[in-house]
């Protein structure tokens, strides 16, 4: 056993020594070398293909690592955003759902790249080392073949002198064996190398199509998710502009509710000696729909019974102070009926109510719903002055001056209205202090607190006194609305 192992080692060393000697002689030009130009071309294509596939595999592995790192970073970022986005803000639940959807998209994208792109690429590149081993073996067998060929040539030249036919015969057999081994490997590689080189096209088509399809699907779906996230933040920005999340605006709203008409039915205006009552025991009664548009009755005589005045004074003193009273709950007013004339309905004060009711008891005042103003009535037809056609024609300049004067009278900017930073076409902005439900298609419905942009009428002749034309900011609806249901901001 030891002798056979030693003989094997000696034989292997002898082969390596013979090959090294043959290569050295070939490099020095002492002996010739078998050349195969076709194989050399296949070998160049193989080396280039192997180099490109190896680089693609390396870069794609790096890309997969970066994708997984970005996936982790995206997850932690969305967790931080969800934590920052307070639960009281609009769209909080939708934000959480979209964050989960984005995380699932990253997971699917990462798995698809690993399973459908990276694994086939690894399989494709793993075949090159096996082919490389066969090419190296073919090179060794070629050196053996050249060595046996040169040795046989030497035996033939010496055989004529020594007549040693046995060595010549043995050398011929060794040469035939080396040639056969070399030609088998060479023939296999002549078939395998071109086939391997041609297979690159179909592989790259399938692999790159899978990569680009996964990229396109991920980015299109993530585009939808980010679109939803942008819509959520846009809604939050709109609510913020309206002051929904401002503590200053909330405090102002509370203060405005505190100075609104109190809900106590016993509250009345103390007009004793013509002096208004103090803020702690005085509440102004809101305008009454029942009195809107009616002519006031004659004032009560100076010597009216003092019992009514004493009762009013007593009830004023017992009224709950406004500062501690809860905000009055506003109710939807009864829409006014349209009337022929254009006389606007002005807010009714307690002084006017007392004059209009005369001898009626003060307790009858409290049938009026608190906090429900009455919008002025709209006339269905224009007055005779607007319908009347001038007999004498007017020039264009006169008509233009007339329109400008009408516009100045119609759009009188109230005190306290902010005029800076308004959108184009906006005169000023108002906030609804009472809820109003429209009765006609050309009117505007709104809730308490909604912001309306006051704009000009398309036709100034259609202006109703006490009514304004506006655009509701929350829905961009346009229509007429009663001015005394709002206050300028």
Q: What is the CB neighbour count within 10 angstroms for residue 407?
A: 13
* pLDDT confidence tier of residue 60, bands split at 50, 70 and 90: very high
How large is the average pLDDT for residues 28-46?
89
* pLDDT confidence tier of residue 432, bands split at 50, 70 and 90: very high
Predicted local distance difference test score (pLDDT) of residue 260: 46
Q: Which two tokens stand for residue 193?
A: 């190398």
Q: How far apart are CA 446 and CA 482, in angstroms?
A: 11
How large is the average pLDDT for residues 179-190?
94
Residue 211 has pLDDT above 50, yes or no: yes
State the burial class of residue 283 (Cβ atoms within 10 Å of its Cβ: 0-12, 13-18, 19+): buried
* pLDDT confidence tier of residue 101, bands split at 50, 70 and 90: very high
Q: How many CA atoms lie within 13 A of 191 on its CB side?
A: 5
How large is the average pLDDT for residues 72-84?
96
Strand partners, 339: 379
Predicted local distance difference test score (pLDDT) of residue 30: 79
Residues of the chain with pLDDT > 70: what percent?
64
Cα-trace Rg, the chain: 50
Q: What is the per-residue pLDDT across 319-378, written as a single tens digit (0 to 9) for each?
A: 333 333 344 444 545 444 444 443 434 444 444 444 444 444 434 444 444 455 656 655
Residue 56 has pLDDT above 60, yes or no: yes
How large is the average pLDDT for residues 436-444?
91
Q: Where are the alpha helices (DSSP H) in 247-372?
A: 247-258, 306-318, 350-357
Strand partners, 432: 486
* pLDDT confidence tier of residue 288, bands split at 50, 70 and 90: very low
- Among the residue ranges 46-55, 133-142, 244-253, 478-487, the one predicted with the least confidence is 244-253
Q: How many CA atoms lie within 13 A of 465 on its CB side?
A: 11
* pLDDT confidence tier of residue 416, bands split at 50, 70 and 90: confident
Strand partners, 452: 430, 472
186 within 8 A of 36, measured Cβ to Cβ = yes
Nearest to 352 by CA among 281, 312, 434, 294: 294
Q: How far apart are CA 142 and CA 145, in angstroms?
A: 5
More confident residue, 39 or 352: 39
- Among the residue ranges 100-109, 182-191, 310-319, the one predicted with the least confidence is 310-319
Predicted local distance difference test score (pLDDT) of residue 384: 43
Nearest to 284 by CA among 266, 269, 263, 270: 269
């Amino acid at each position: 056993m030891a002798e056979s192992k030693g003989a094997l080692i000696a034989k292997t060393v002898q082969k390596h020594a013979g090959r090294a000697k043959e290569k050295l002689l070939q490099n020095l030009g002492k002996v010739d070398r078998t050349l195969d130009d076709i194989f050399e071309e296949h070998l160049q294509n193989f080396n280039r293909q192997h180099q490109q596939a190896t680089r693609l595999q390396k870069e794609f592995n790096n890309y997969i690592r970066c994708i997984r790192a970005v996936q982790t970073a995206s997850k932690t970022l969305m967790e931080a955003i969800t934590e920052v986005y307070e639960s009281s803000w609009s769209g909080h639940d939708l934000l959480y759902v979209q964050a989960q959807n984005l995380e699932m998209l990253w997971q699917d994208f990462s798995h698809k790249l690993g399973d459908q792109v990276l694994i086939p690429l690894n399989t494709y590149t793993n075949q090159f080392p096996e082919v490389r081993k066969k090419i190296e073996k073919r090179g060794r067998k070629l050196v053996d073949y050249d060595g046996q060929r040169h040795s046989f040539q030497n035996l033939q030249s010496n055989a004529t002198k020594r007549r040693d036919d046995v060595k010549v015969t043995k050398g011929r057999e060794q040469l035939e064996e080396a040639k056969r081994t070399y030609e088998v490997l060479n023939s296999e590689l002549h078939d395998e190398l071109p086939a391997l080189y041609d297979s690159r096209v179909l592989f790259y088509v399938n692999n790159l199509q899978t990569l680009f399809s996964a990229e396109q699907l991920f980015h299109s779906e993530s585009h939808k998710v980010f679109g939803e996230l942008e819509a959520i933040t846009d809604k939050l920005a709109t609510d913020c502009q309206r002051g929904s999340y401002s503590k200053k605006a909330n405090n102002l709203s509370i203060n405005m509710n505190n100075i609104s008409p109190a809900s106590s039915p016993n509250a009345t205006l103390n007009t004793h000696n013509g002096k208004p009552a103090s803020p702690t025991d005085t509440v102004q009664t809101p305008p009454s729909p029942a009195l809107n548009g009616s002519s006031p009755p004659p004032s009560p005589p100076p010597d009216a019974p003092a019992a009514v005045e004493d009762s009013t004074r007593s009830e004023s003193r017992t009224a709950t102070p406004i500062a501690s009273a809860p905000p009055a709950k506003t109710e939807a007013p009864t829409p006014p009926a349209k009337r022929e004339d254009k006389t606007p309905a002005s807010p009714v004060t307690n002084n006017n109510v007392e004059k209009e009711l005369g001898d009626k008891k003060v307790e009858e005042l409290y049938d009026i719903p608190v906090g429900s103003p009455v919008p002025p009535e709209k006339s269905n037809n224009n007055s005779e002055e607007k319908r009347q056609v001038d007999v004498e024609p007017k020039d264009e300049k006169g008509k233009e001056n007339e329109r400008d004067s009408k516009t100045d009278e119609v759009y009188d900017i109230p005190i306290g209205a902010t005029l800076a930073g308004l959108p184009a076409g906006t005169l000023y902005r108002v906030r609804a202090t009472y809820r109003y439900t429209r009765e006609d298609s050309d009117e505007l419905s709104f809730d308490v607190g909604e912001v309306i942009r006051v704009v000009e009428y398309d036709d100034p002749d259609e202006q109703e006194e006490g009514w304004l034309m506006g655009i509701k900011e929350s829905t961009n609806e346009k229509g007429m609305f009663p001015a005394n249901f709002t206050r300028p901001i």
